[in-house]
Each structure stands twice: as structure tokens, then as C-alpha cells.
């Protein structure tokens, strides 16, 4: 189930980055509402992944990779919230692309022991 959330989050972030990068290649600009909604669904898949990975039976698994993922989720959500108030459409594709790079190891390399 964790792999499903990781793959879906990476794909949704990649799709959001592709939609938002339309500003640079199309004269009408990006479809901001579509890009932000796709990135928001990606952030929901991201937090679902984090919930399954961090909260384990004996307690919380706050390893370095989990803390990195949590911090990247906070950055993504803050960028999505402030996208409605300030014009940060140039940074949103960069943040989404970095999220794709963040989730590629989780989806491409399945772990044999404890997966973090």
C-alpha cells in the first residue's frame, strides 16, 4: 500500500509540474486551477504515504528519510496555500519536480527490510 501511495504521489506531482510548466511554453499561460488541484491531490497522497510509514505499531519512526519527507510535504503544502495569495507559479513546478525525485526511490527500489 505504501508503494501505491508513493507512485501515485510521484505521478500526480509530475503531472502538476507538467501542467504548471505550460506558462513557459504557451502564450496563454498555465491552467493554474488544474495544476493546483492536481498538486493538492498529490499532497494528499503524500500525507497518506507519510501516515503509513511514520506511524508504526510501537511508536513513531522518525528516521532521517521520514523527517525529510515530512519537511518536503510541509514545503509543498505551504507553497500550495500561498499560491492563491502570491504569484509563485515559477517555483511550483520546481517544488513538484523535486517531490517526484524524492519519491522515485520509494517506488523504484522496493525495500526488503524496514522501508523508510
Q: What is the pLDDT of residue 48?
A: 92
Q: What is the pLDDT of residue 103?
A: 66
Report d(CA 3, CA 1) in Å as an integer: 5
Q: What is the pLDDT of residue 105?
A: 62
Report d(CA 5, CA 9) in Å as an integer: 6
Q: What is the pLDDT of residue 109?
A: 58
Residue-by-residue pLDDT tens, the chain, 116 positions: 777 888 898 899 899 988 888 767 777 777 888 989 999 999 999 999 888 888 876 878 888 878 888 888 999 999 999 888 887 777 888 888 888 777 666 555 555 555 55
Question: 77, 84, 97, 82: which is closest to 19 by C-alpha?
Answer: 97
Q: What is the pLDDT of residue 47?
A: 93
Report d(CA 105, CA 14) in Å as an integer: 15
Q: What is the pLDDT of residue 98?
A: 83
Q: What is the pLDDT of residue 26?
A: 75
Q: What is the pLDDT of residue 108?
A: 59
Amino acid at each position: 500500500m505504501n508503494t501505491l501511495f508513493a507512485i501515485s504521489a510521484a505521478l500526480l506531482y509530475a503531472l502538476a509540474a507538467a501542467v504548471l510548466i505550460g506558462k513557459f511554453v504557451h502564450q496563454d499561460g498555465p491552467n493554474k486551477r488544474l495544476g493546483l488541484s492536481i498538486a493538492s491531490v498529490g499532497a494528499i497522497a503524500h500525507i497518506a504515504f507519510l501516515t503509513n510509514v511514520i506511524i508504526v505499531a510501537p511508536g513513531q519512526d522518525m528516521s532521517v528519510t521520514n523527517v525529510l519527507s515530512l519537511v518536503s510535504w510541509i514545503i509543498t503544502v505551504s507553497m500550495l496555500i500561498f499560491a492563491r495569495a502570491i504569484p509563485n507559479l515559477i517555483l511550483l513546478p520546481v517544488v513538484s519536480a523535486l517531490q517526484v525525485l524524492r519519491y522515485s526511490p520509494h517506488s523504484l527500489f522496493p525495500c526488503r527490510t524496514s522501508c523508510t
